[in-house]
Amino acid sequence: EAGVAQSPRYKIIEKRQSVAFWCNPISGHATLYWYQQILGQGPKLLIQFQNNGVVDDSQLPKDRFSAERLKGVDSTLKIQPAKLEDSAVYLCASSLGSSWGYNEQFFGPGTRLTVL
Amino acid sequence: GDSVTQMEGPVTLSEEAFLTINCTYTATGYPSLFWYVQYPGEGLQLLLKATKADDKGSNKGFEATYRKETTSFHLEKGSVQVSDSAVYFCALSDGQFYFGTGTSLTVIP
């Protein structure tokens, strides 16, 4: 079974530029998550989709970050314009569902973003 | 709000030493608890889980017991190997996931 795919793996941009990340979850997984992991910290949830609807985006900086999952499968996360503090690894994860309690998440390898 | 606090690292152990990584949590309900591991250059992987009080999760020689009375989920392994060198994350889920800051473990031969 193929895992969660993410691209690109690495990206270097200058501040104020735009960047987009792509994620393809495991086939059949209804729930997709984007996390931001700053060096030395644990992953922080940015947004959670259930199929193509947003379940939770309370920690997404909406003035510069946006995400979509138009067909309920793959997803893109965009930053426009980027700031220095956006330098982090952006992780995508998927799970079969998001019912209350436990639902195992499978993580992609992440995209390491460096903003200069 | 819910949160997870785990032991700061880095931790360096000799091969075959005993490992404990402490994790405590704060939650209003009855969350599920997890340990994830991140090997160098790889994504996070689920190591073990426990979904209710007194449950013991185990995998690859690692164990953790869900202790509601002490709100803890400490990770233990009796004899670590060089291949266990990684970053370990404690996490809880009450519908939303909360991760700890991670503990880096290096095992030296």
8 A C-beta contact, residue B106 and residue B10 = yes
For residue A43, cis peptide bond before it (omega within 30 degrees of 0): no
pLDDT for residue A101 is more than 70: no
pLDDT tens digit string along A16-37?
999 999 999 999 899 999 999 9
| Residue A4 to residue B94, Cβ atoms within 8 A | no
Q: How far is A100 from chain B (nearest CA, A)?
A: 5
**Would you state the pLDDT for residue B30?**
84
What would the mean pLDDT of A91-96 be, rounded to a whole number?
92
Distance CA A10, CA A7 (A): 8
CA–CA–CA angle B32, A4, A31 (5° rounding): 50
| Mutation site for A-interface testing, chosen from B8, B96, B103 by largest number of A Cβ within 10 Å | B96
Residues in B touching A45 (Cβ below 8 Å)? 96-97
User: Measured on CA atoms in the order B9, A42, B43, A65, is the torsion positive or negative?
Assistant: negative
pLDDT tens digit string along B26-37?
998 888 999 999
pLDDT band at A98 (very low <50, low <70, confident <90, very high): low
Q: How far is A63 from chain B (nearest CA, A)?
A: 23
Distance CA A59, CA A5 (A): 23
**Would you state the pLDDT for residue A1?**
63
pLDDT for residue A102 is more than 60: no
| Residue A42 to residue B101, Cβ atoms within 8 A | yes
| Residue A102 to residue B51, Cβ atoms within 8 A | yes
Three-state SS for B14-69 is ECCCCEEECEEEECCCCCEEEEEEECCCCCEEEEEEECCCCCEEEECCEEEECECC
Tell which residue, B99, B69, B30, has the closest CA to residue A100.
B30
8 A C-beta contact, residue A86 and residue A92 = no
8 A C-beta contact, residue A113 and residue A19 = yes
The partner residue sitting opposite B93, judged by closest CB among A3, A102, A107, is A102
What would the mean pLDDT of A44-63 be, rounded to a whole number?
92
What would the mean pLDDT of B78-88 be, rounded to a whole number?
96
| Residue A40 to residue B44, Cβ atoms within 8 A | no
